[in-house]
Amino acid sequence: MEKLRMTSPDLTQANIDKLAELFPNVVTETRDADGAVKRAIDFDALRQELSDHIVEGPQERYQLDWPGKRAAAFAANAPIAKTLRPMREESVDFDATKNLFIEGDNLDALKLLQESYLGKVKLIYIDPPYNTGNDFVYNDDFAATTKDYLDRSGQVDNAGARLTANSETNGRFHSDWLSMMSPRLKLARNLLSEDGAIFMSIDDAEMGNLHRLAAEVFGEHNFVGAMVWAAGRKNDSKYISSSHEYILIFARDISSLDSRVGAWRTRKEGLDEIYAEYGRLRRAHGEDNAAVASGLRAWYRQLGEDDPAKRHKHYSSVDERGVFFPSDLSKNSPTSRSKYDVFHPVTGKAVSMPEHGWRYAPEQMATLLAENRIKFGPDETTRPTYKRYLSDAEDEIPYSVFYVDGRGASGRLKSLLGGAVFDNPKDEHVLRKIVEFGTSKDDLILDFFAGSGTSAHAVMLQNAKDGGSRKYILVQLDEIPATHSNAAREGYRTIAEVSRERVRRAGKKVNMERAADTAPLDTGFRALRIDTTNMADVLRTPDETNQLDLGERTSSIKRDRTREDLLFQVLLDWGLELTLPIRREQIDGREVFVVDDGGLIACFDESVTPAVVRAIAERQPVRAVFRDDAFATDAERINAEQVFAEVSPDTSVKAI
C-alpha cells in the first residue's frame, strides 16, 4: 500500500517532467546539496531548443559524462587493505588445479589481481547486471564516507545494509550503472594480454552507454564489433518481442589481434554428423563413390532446415580422400601465366579453358593434378573443377548474428543442479564457441560477473573438445538469494555457492562423458574469498596503551588467520600467480611452504631457529619470507640476513 505524501507537490519536478515530454534531450542528471543524484535540466540545451540561432555556451566536445564519473575514476585507482583467503573445503583438487574461483566484490578482486595477472588474460567474458530498474547488488558508494550520508541518500535499509535503488524515477538510472561499470572495465583492461579481447553481454537498456564507456576505456579504434544473440521469442513485451541481446567486443590492442595467425576462427557446426554419415555410407558401399555420393545427397535432403549440417549440403561429392565440393577453377582476370592447356587424363585432349584462364599458375596446377585434387568430367568438353575438401574447410569466421534458444541452457542447468535454482543462465555452448575462437589451448579466461558459473563450464567443454589446457578465473559476489527463490529453498546461502556447485557438477559430467582412454581434464578450482588484510592494526598512541597489554600488541598478524592465509597474501604482494603448486614440509620442527618448486619458500611459525634459516638459504630459493616477530631480537634478524647474503645472495628475503 502506498503512503500519502503528506507534503505540497514538488512543482520543480513537475515542471521537469513537462519539459521532458517536450524536449527529452534537455533532461540530465546532477547532484543536490547532499550529494544525491537527481534529474535536472540542461539549461544550455533548453536555450538552444528555444532559439532560432546557435546559442553561445560551454565548449562542446564528444564525451560520455554522468554525475559520479570522477568518483568512479578515483575508485578504480584507490588502494584497498584486503586480501584473498583460501577456502580448501570449498575447493576441488586444491593442490593441483590451475583454476580460481574468487568469492567477493569484483571491484576488490580486480584490484587484488592486478600484479599477479597483469597482461596475462587472453579473454574476458562478462554478463553484468542489466539495468532493469531493480536494486543494485554492486553498491560501491564511492562518495560515501559517513553513515549520515548513507542515511540521507537512501542507500541503507532499516538494518543498515547498503541498498542502492536504481529505479528510473530516482534520477540515477544510468549514472549508478555507469559508475558501477567504469572502474571495473578500467581494471579489467590492465589484465588483458596485448592480443586479448573482452566480450560483454548486454541488453537494449545500456547497450549504447556500454559501447561509449568501453570506447573510452579501450579506445574506439579497438572496437571489434557486436554480436547479436537471438535467444527465442518472448511474449512479455508490449510493442516488440525482445528476443535478443548483444555481445559487445573490444580488443586490448586490435593491431596485435590482427597479427595472430588463424585468429578468430570457429569450427563449423554439423561436421561430425556429416563425417559419421560418410563413414556409414562408405562401409555400406565400399569403393563405389557414386553410390556414396548419392546416399549423402539423400541424407542432406531429409535434414531439417535448421539442422547445422544442412548448411554444408554442397559438400556432396566424394572420393577415396573424403567429402568435397567441386569448386570453380576460373581466374577472375587474366594474367601472363593464367592461360595454358590442361589435358584430360582419359582422352588426352586439352579441356575447355575459362575465359581468363586458370586460377592457379602452371606449377601449382601440376601439383594439384599429381595429388588428385582436380575433378575431371567424362571427357575434355566438361571443364574440370577443384576438389575443396570439407576437412580443409572446417573453420569459419564467427557470424555476428546467431540463434540459440535460451530455454535450452535453463533446462540443462536445472537437470545438472536438480532444480531451477538460477534464473536465465547463459548458454554454456554459446560461451564455448567464444572460448574456441577467442583463445588458444593454454590461455587464461576471466569472468568477474560469474553468476551461475557458465564460463567455467564453457572452458571445460572446449578443453574436452580440443584437448586444451585453458585456465579460468571466476569472481562472484557473495550475494544472498531472495528468501522466496528456489536457490534459498534448496539451502544455498549465497549465489557464489550456487556457482561453485554448478562448476563442481559440470566438471564431473565433462570428465564422465570423455573417452575412457583420455587423461582427465583439470576440472578443479582453488576457492578464495576476499577479506580484510591479515595484518592487525597495531598503531596506538601512548595514551591508548598501558603497560599490561603491551605483550598482546606485539603481533602484527590477526589471531584468526592461518599460515596459508598469510601465504596467499604474500603471493599477491609479490605478484605471483595464485595457482602455483604449493608443498608443505617440516624443517627443524617448523612448517615450511615451498611454492613453485623453490620460487618461494615461506615459514610463518612464530619462532624460527638458525637451522631453519640456513636450511632454507641452502635451497637457494628465488624468494624467502618469514614472520617479523619470529625473530626474538634484532640480532637474530640480522644474522638471518647475513646467512642468506653468504649462502644465497640472489634470494630476495622479506618479513611480514
CATH number of the domain enclosing 420: 3.40.50.150
Same-domain pairing of 202 and 103: yes
- Total residue count of the chain as it appears in this document: 656
User: Taking Cα atoms as reference points, which of 290, 6, 252 lies closest to residue 122?
Assistant: 252
> How many Å apart are CA 104 and CA 112, to the nearest integer?
11
Residue where a domain terminates, one of 370, 389, 408: 389
Q: What is the mean pLDDT of each run of 10 residues along the chain (656 residues)?
A: 45 79 78 74 81 70 79 84 95 97 96 95 94 61 40 41 45 80 94 96 91 92 92 68 88 84 81 95 95 96 91 94 94 91 95 93 94 94 95 90 84 88 88 94 96 96 94 94 81 92 96 83 97 78 53 72 96 96 95 96 94 95 94 91 95 93
Q: In whole angstroms, what is the distance from residue 258 CA to residue 235 CA?
A: 41
- CA-to-CA separations, 140 to 170, 287, 318, in angstroms, rounded: 17, 69, 62
Q: How many alpha carbons fall within 13 Å on the CB side of residue 453? A: 29
- Is 487 within a domain? yes
In a domain, 65, yes or no: no
Secondary structure in 3-state letters for 493-527: CCHHHHHHHHHHHHHHHHHHCCCCCCCCCCCCEEE
For residue 170, being part of any structural domain is answered with: yes
Domain membership of residue 101 (yes or no) is: yes
One domain, residues 489 and 605: no
Asked if residue 80 belongs to a domain, the reply is yes
pLDDT given for residue 1 in this prediction: 29
Q: Flag whether 271 is in a domain.
A: no
Order of strands, sheet of 623-626, starting from the edge strand that comes earlier in the sequence: 582-587, 590-595, 600-603, 623-626, 652-655
Residue 420 has what pLDDT? 82
Q: Is residue 288 part of a domain?
A: no
Torsion over CA: 105, 111, 114, 120 (sign): positive
Rounded (10°) angle between helices 610-618 and 634-647: 20
Q: 386 near 373, Cβ under 8 Å?
A: yes
Same domain, 564 and 643: yes
Whether residue 461 is found in the same domain as residue 563: no
Q: Are 500 and 492 in contact (CB under 8 A)?
A: no
448 and 576 inside one domain: no
Q: Spell out where 205-310 has E strands.
A: 223-230, 244-251, 266-267
pLDDT value at position 172?
60
Residues 362 and 451 in one domain: no
Same domain (yes/no): 615, 641: yes
Indicate whether 88 belongs to any domain: yes
pTM exceeds 0.95, yes or no: no
Place of cell 576471466: 446
Report in angstroms the alpha-carbon separations of 542 from 528, 537, 548, 629: 38, 15, 13, 21
Could you tell me which residues come within 8 angstroms of residue 568 by beta carbon, excluding any fewer than 6 positions away?
83, 84, 85, 86, 528, 578
Q: Which three cell numbers stand for residue 645?
A: 647474503
Cell numbers standing for residue 89: 573445503
Last residue of a domain, one of 367, 389, 411: 389
Beta bridge partners of 223: 250
> What is the Cα–Cα distance from 271 to 629, expressed in whole angstroms?
64
- What's the structural domain count of the chain? 4
**Shared domain check, 135 and 91:** yes
Biggest distance spanned by C-alpha atoms of the chain? 111
**Are both 369 and 425 inside the same structural domain?**
no
CA torsion 43-49-52-53 (nearest 10°) is 50
Beta carbons within 8 Å of 189's beta carbon, 6+ residues apart: 198, 217, 218, 252
| H helical segments located in 418-467 | 428-438, 454-466
Instruction: For residues 261 and 409, state if they share a domain.
Output: yes
Instruction: Check: CB of residue 554 under 8 Å from CB of residue 629.
Output: yes
DSSP state of 55: P
Range of the domain at 170: 74-266+397-529
**Number of CB atoms found within 10 A of residue 520's CB:** 11
Do residue 91 and residue 218 come from a single domain? yes
Q: Which of 476, 510, 529 is the last residue of a domain?
A: 529
Q: What pLDDT is recorded for position 237?
A: 62
d(CA 76, CA 217): 12
Q: Are residues 86 and 173 in the same domain?
A: yes
